[in-house]
């Protein structure tokens, strides 16, 4: 699935492999030298700087996700200690230009969501009355917009958060789930996570009913300890991350869950721990579901869950590092599987995974937001 808060707008009915084509390079493999034994920071910087200046034509089909791609690039540069290589004022002005604004306060009750558009292609002009002809603002794009602003140090208190949060309540359903857009969207844990992360970053929880969202999350836990995207569905690494990170952001689970009295926990941490640890495959990488191949991005999705519940010490970090290095491209960036060309989606989650592994040259990670720690905390 495009399974985070950032790759959150894919269709859950697709297969996992089909979903990730949305962010992966169409080129399947290339001949290359043996994997490096080191994290090649300079090559990764060159890769991200190239993407910052001009995206390759392969990304034309992803124009609707331009804010998401920008998040991968800019937040990736922060992980690499190179956020000074972007013009922060230009970036902030560009991101803020994507916010959908109501023509008046009455419009906030019309059922629409006034968040951020994903790109110019989804941003329609206003009519002669100052109303949006078509409001395509999206929860995932809004998460990405706020993430970028956080990473560059922009003061989020100066944006129109009241309109955003009041209208975001229009997206919450009676079962506690969220639609990503005001009409025609599906509902699952990805968008519950987006809503929680948005409220957390804005330091204002008026945009959601936390108790209702919590109940929806708990209904998504499967018999094996993991979480599916919707109640009754198969446990999945991305969905499990969305569940646990949301519960942490909302304050329902604390730090080091495994060390506390599990009988008082709203989830079964031991069962969850067992499911997560079983996702580390023989090649050292993590799989998203049972009987799936290891994939770079799940080093973050599963690794972050283990970090959040206090079980990351049980990861075979040497084996995981070896797998990730086998997916490191000689051109910079990371691929989904060993031997493929890199793409922004797997590159970003490669950097977050190495941050979890405490790579010395990378900024530390805020696992519940998937962002650099200092940027996430506002310091």
Please provide the DSSP assignment of 16-76 as one string.
Answer: HHHHHTTTS-S------PPPPSS--HHHHHHHHHHHHH---GGGGGGGGGHHHHHHHHHHH
Strand partners, 188: none
Q: Are the C-beta atoms of 67 and 119 separated by less than 8 Å?
A: yes
The reply to whether the predicted model has a pTM over 0.85 is yes
Print burial letters for 128-139: b (CB count within 10 Å at least 16), e (below 16).
Answer: eeeebeebbbbb
Q: H or E element: which one contains 372?
A: strand 371-372
Q: What is the pLDDT of residue 365?
A: 96
Distance separating alpha carbons of residues 22 and 354, to the nearest angstrom = 23
Residues 6+ away with beta carbon under 8 Å from 265:
253, 257
Q: Residue ranges of the chain with pLDDT lower than 70?
A: 1-35, 106, 109, 121-135, 261-263, 375-379
Q: What is the pLDDT of residue 237?
A: 98
Q: What is the pLDDT of residue 102?
A: 81
Q: Are the C-beta atoms of 311 and 244 separated by less than 8 Å?
A: no
Distance separating alpha carbons of residues 246 and 239, to the nearest angstrom = 10
pLDDT above 70 as % of the chain: 83
Rg of the chain's alpha carbons, rounded to an integer? Answer: 20
Residue 196: Cβ within 10 Å count? 29
Distance separating alpha carbons of residues 230 and 234, to the nearest angstrom = 9
Distance separating alpha carbons of residues 280 and 237, to the nearest angstrom = 11
Q: What is the DSSP letter of 121?
A: G
Q: What is the pLDDT of residue 137?
A: 87
Q: What is the pLDDT of residue 29?
A: 47
Distance separating alpha carbons of residues 77 and 348, to the nearest angstrom = 9
CA end-to-end span of the chain, whole Å?
32
Q: Is 130 left (phi over 0), alpha (psi -120 to 50) or beta?
A: left
Q: What is the pLDDT of residue 28?
A: 46
Q: Which residue has the tokens 């937040």?
A: 75
Distance separating alpha carbons of residues 224 and 297, to the nearest angstrom = 22
């Amino acid at each position: 699935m495009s399974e985070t808060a950032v790759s959150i707008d894919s269709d859950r009915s697709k297969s996992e492999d089909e979903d990730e084509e949305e962010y992966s390079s169409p080129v399947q493999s290339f001949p290359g030298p043996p994997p490096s034994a080191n994290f090649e920071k300079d090559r990764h910087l060159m890769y991200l700087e190239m993407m910052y200046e001009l995206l390759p034509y392969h990304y034309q089909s992803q124009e609707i996700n331009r804010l998401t791609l920008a998040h991968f690039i800019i937040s990736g540069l922060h992980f690499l200690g190179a956020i000074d290589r972007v013009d922060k004022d230009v970036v902030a002005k560009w991101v803020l230009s994507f916010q959908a604004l109501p023509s008046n306060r009455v419009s906030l009750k019309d059922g629409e969501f006034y968040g951020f558009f994903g790109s110019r292609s989804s941003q329609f002009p206003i009519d002669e009355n100052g109303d949006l002809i078509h409001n395509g603002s999206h929860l995932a794009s809004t998460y990405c917009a706020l993430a970028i602003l956080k990473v560059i140090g922009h003061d989020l208190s100066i944006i129109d958060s009241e309109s955003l949060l009041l209208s975001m309540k229009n997206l919450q359903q009676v079962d506690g789930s969220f639609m990503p857009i005001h009409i025609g969207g599906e509902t699952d844990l990805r968008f519950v996570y987006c809503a929680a992360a948005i409220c957390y970053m804005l330091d204002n929880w008026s945009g959601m009913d936390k108790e209702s969202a919590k109940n929806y999350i708990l209904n998504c836990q499967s018999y094996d300890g993991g979480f599916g995207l919707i109640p009754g569905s198969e446990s999945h690494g991305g969905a499990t991350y969305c569940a646990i990170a949301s519960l942490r952001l909302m304050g329902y689970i604390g730090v080091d869950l495994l060390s506390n009295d599990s009988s008082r926990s709203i989830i079964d941490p031991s069962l969850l721990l067992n499911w997560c640890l079983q996702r580390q495959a023989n090649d050292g990488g993590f799989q998203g579901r049972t009987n799936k191949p290891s994939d770079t991005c799940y080093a973050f999705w599963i690794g972050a869950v283990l970090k959040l519940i206090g079980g990351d010490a049980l990861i075979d970090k040497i084996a995981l590092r070896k797998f990730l290095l086998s997916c490191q491209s000689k051109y910079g960036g990371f691929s989904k599987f060993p031997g493929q060309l890199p793409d922004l989606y797997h590159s970003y989650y490669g950097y977050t995974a190495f941050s979890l592994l405490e790579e010395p040259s990378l900024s530390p990670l805020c696992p519940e937001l998937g962002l650099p720690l200092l940027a996430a905390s506002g310091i």
